[in-house]
């Protein structure tokens, strides 16, 4: 698969560059909304919608947005989309809106979205950015679903609210709490790392261009001078 081909852009988010298990971004909503499968799914889809929209818009505007104010611009765009998604959910999916609570608004500061805006959308075409949004969004959703499934099935003895006969009497309560969430998170990172066996990009390979603070960083400036 050619690097950066449309298909690879779409699929890399699922496993090789999975935002949750490989890039380790968006940890807070990951831990907070994966107690139930339904909550995780709703969070994943909401984040995916915002991610796709913001990626497309940021990619469209990448030549217009001046470099010095790019982060505020990205944040305004992302926050705008989050608010719009929030309002639609409040109107049409009030139960999910209640379920996600403050984490819905916190998508604004989800590192995955700002990260993709900075690392991908601002440098690539609209189509590729949209695909990246879909891929990363799916990766995020699947990661949340994987975690939520483990936590809900074994922690609450149910799946998407439906009780599972044997397990409902033998729950591992810690899984529904924050420590259990971290435990499952760690195990899944281990599993993904074992599967990808180092094919996932190493942290260093992102280099300075991947860092939102690159422009103001003295270490980067030194590097450039050398």
For other proteins, the binding residues (CB under 8 A) are 61, 64-66, 68-69, 72-73, 76-77, 79-80, 83-84, 87-88, 90-92, 94
Shortest distance, CB of residue 100 to other proteins, whole angstroms?
15
Query: Could you count the other beta carbons within 10 Å of the beta carbon of residue 63?
Result: 7
Gap between the terminal Cα atoms of the chain: 34
- Round to whole Å and give the CA distance between 169 and 158: 10
User: 159's torsion region: left (phi>0), alpha (psi -120 to 50) or beta?
Assistant: beta
Shortest distance, CB of residue 203 to other proteins, whole angstroms?
31
Query: Could you count the other beta carbons within 10 Å of the beta carbon of residue 175?
Result: 21
DSSP 8-class letter at 33: S
Closer of 95 and 209 to other proteins (Cβ): 95
Query: Which residue's structure tokens are 């949340």?
Result: 144
Closer of 69 and 187 to other proteins (Cβ): 69
Shortest distance, CB of residue 51 to other proteins, whole angstroms?
16
Shortest distance, CB of residue 104 to other proteins, whole angstroms?
14
DSSP 8-class letter at 176: G
Query: Could you count the other beta carbons within 10 Å of the beta carbon of residue 183?
Result: 16
Closer of 45 and 147 to other proteins (Cβ): 45
Shortest distance, CB of residue 55 to other proteins, whole angstroms?
15
Inter-residue contact 137 to 13 (CB < 8 Å):
yes
Q: For residue 34, which of 139, 153, 144, 171 has the smallest C-alpha distance?
A: 144
Inter-residue contact 37 to 107 (CB < 8 Å):
no
Closer of 45 and 188 to other proteins (Cβ): 45
- Round to whole Å and give the CA distance between 61 and 150: 40
Closer of 79 and 160 to other proteins (Cβ): 79
Closer of 71 and 208 to other proteins (Cβ): 71
């Amino acid at each position: 698969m050619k690097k950066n081909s449309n298909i690879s852009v779409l699929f890399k988010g699922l496993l090789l560059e999975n935002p949750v298990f490989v890039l380790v971004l968006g940890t807070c909503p990951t831990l907070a909304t994966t107690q139930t499968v339904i909550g995780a799914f709703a969070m994943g889809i909401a984040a995916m919608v915002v991610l796709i929209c913001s990626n497309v818009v940021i990619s469209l505007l990448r030549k217009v947005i001046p470099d010095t104010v790019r982060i505020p611009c990205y944040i305004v765009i992302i926050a705008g989309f989050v608010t719009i998604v929030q309002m639609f959910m409040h109107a049409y999916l009030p139960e999910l809106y209640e379920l996600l609570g403050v984490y819905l608004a916190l998508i604004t500061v989800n590192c995955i979205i700002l990260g993709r805006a900075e690392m991908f959308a601002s440098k690539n075409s609209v189509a590729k950015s949209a695909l990246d949004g879909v891929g990363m969004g799916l990766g995020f959703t699947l990661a949340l679903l994987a975690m939520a499934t483990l936590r809900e099935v074994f922690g609450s003895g149910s799946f998407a609210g439906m009780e599972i006969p044997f397990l409902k009497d033998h729950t591992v309560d810690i899984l529904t709490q924050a420590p259990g969430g971290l435990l499952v998170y760690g195990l899944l990172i281990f599993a993904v790392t074992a599967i990808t066996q180092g094919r996932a990009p190493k942290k260093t390979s992102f280099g300075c261009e991947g860092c939102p603070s690159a422009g103001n960083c003295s270490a980067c400036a030194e590097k450039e001078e050398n």
